[in-house]
Structure 1
């Protein structure tokens, strides 16, 4: 049997209280590790779903220093797990903005990868307006991660929420075993597009997709869609958590990746 990797996706309904959110994350990470997960993923904004967009600017940390990052490193070591830490607010060049950043920690608590969200969500209707770019500075470098676990290399793509709508980002990352996507998709767009987009990214890139979502009604009146999922390279949903806090687990299989890419070698047929 070919190598497999046990993964977990954690779903939360984060609040404006950073300590409360970190305590919730600690409990869920421990549960995922106890269930055998070797890699666990937290959702976007897991540490803070503020009452105002500017709350995350006040909570920002310098890269490599700060209480949020210290606790994340501790979570990884305490649970002997690779932790993909959703997103946290890090300092940006502009003092009134943050970078919306995924950090990855190894079981020794060392930060081994980072990705700053590239595509920023925004919309305006007659009654509602929301612009991430008012408080978030866009990243510019696609996110990649290679983990060597159980004598096997596993290659991941790192992206965040709204990135999901831009397939050229995923094509540009090339062949990966799994795309990891922390998110806080809105209920309105999530019910119509979330699963379709996740399955499309898995099918067209012939890889696993592991998404970790916010999933419920928040104190700031936002409602997020949830439905954290593990999807296989053929587009089948292997695990799903519709709403509320909790986690899902599953396994990535090198055999499954090879099977899909052999019977339909579409990636080899690309012309553009």
Structure 2
């Protein structure tokens, strides 16, 4: 059972198509977080690599029990720290597609939960952004129940999932205290919607929202918005990474979640007789 107040760390960096280089960056950031006495580190979507093409991404993908994930579970064990690994390119046996999988690793290096991204980002805005994840990813088929960690019960999402309140409400109904959306938001959508979406999800669920993000130019075709942040249950941004590679720290206060819910009891005021209830899984 987690304590009432816990320190978390968010990482932010610019992944490339070199998994070994990316691991080295994350290892350094995790060690920084450990030195700051964080209990859990949150890593962005596509932390393992960002390929220059769908074909390259498929070629680089590995199974969840392969050598690449083994290095990350060893990293958690070596530092005795929990990791939220925000979006692993999980190879699907017998298919020319992958899952985008969020993996939670405990301080002993054991994988205790994983969730595959349900909502795929297929968008073409002329002159701004063109990306079709369904060309090389399979959508996940289930909402994963919140996982108990030293910092609270965490509901797992990934990036584009943040636009769908049905997911966040379902996780909150199942007891989530924290929602996490590791991301690689495009610059165009990030400038317009990143902060407001994260704050909205926090306000409507009365949960903390943790969103570690990719930042900067990955290659000639891809650039990410950055601005890793933590939002509290009242909708206030309480931590945010500066530009570039680094970490930020935030205190998760479970007593404050209870306080917000008691002072603004929206869950008691839902008019399920007027609209379809978001059902828990």
What is the TM-score when the length of structure 2 is the normalising length?
Answer: 0.91
Query: How far is 1:120 from its partner?
Result: 0.3
Larger mean Cα displacement after TM superposition, 215-224 or 28-37: 215-224
Within-5 A mapping of 1:70-219: 70-92=70-92, 95-126=95-126, 129-149=130-150, 154-173=152-171, 174=173, 175-219=175-219
Query: How far is 1:242 from its partner?
Result: 3.8
Q: Is the 8 A contact 1:14 1:48 kept in 2?
A: yes
Structure 1's 126 and 239: CA in aligned 2 closer, same or farther, altered over 3 A? Answer: closer
Query: How far is 1:147 from its partner?
Result: 2.6
What is the TM-score when the length of structure 1 is the normalising length?
Answer: 0.94
* Aligned equivalent of 1:225: 225
Distance 1:125 1:228 in 2: 24
* Aligned equivalent of 1:4: 5
Residues 90-136 of structure 1 deviation map (CA, whole Å, 9 limit, x = unaligned)? 12266211000011111111110000000000112445632100000
Residues 37-75 of structure 1 deviation map (CA, whole Å, 9 limit, x = unaligned)? 111111001110111122221122223x21211111011
Structure 1's 256 and 126: CA in aligned 2 closer, same or farther, altered over 3 A? Answer: closer
Q: Is the 8 A contact 2:146 2:176 kept in 1?
A: no
Give the secondary structure class of the aligned counterpart of 2:89.
Answer: strand
* Aligned equivalent of 2:254: 254
Give the superposed CA RMSD.
1.5
* Aligned equivalent of 2:275: none
Q: Which runs of 5+ in 1 are unaligned?
A: none
Q: Is the 8 A contact 2:152 2:254 kept in 1?
A: no
* Aligned equivalent of 1:270: 270
Within-5 A mapping of 1:23-38: 23-38=24-39
Larger mean Cα displacement after TM superposition, 195-204 or 52-61: 52-61
Q: Is the 8 A contact 1:5 1:38 kept in 2?
A: yes
Question: Are residue 39 (structure 1) and residue 37 (structure 2) matched?
Answer: no
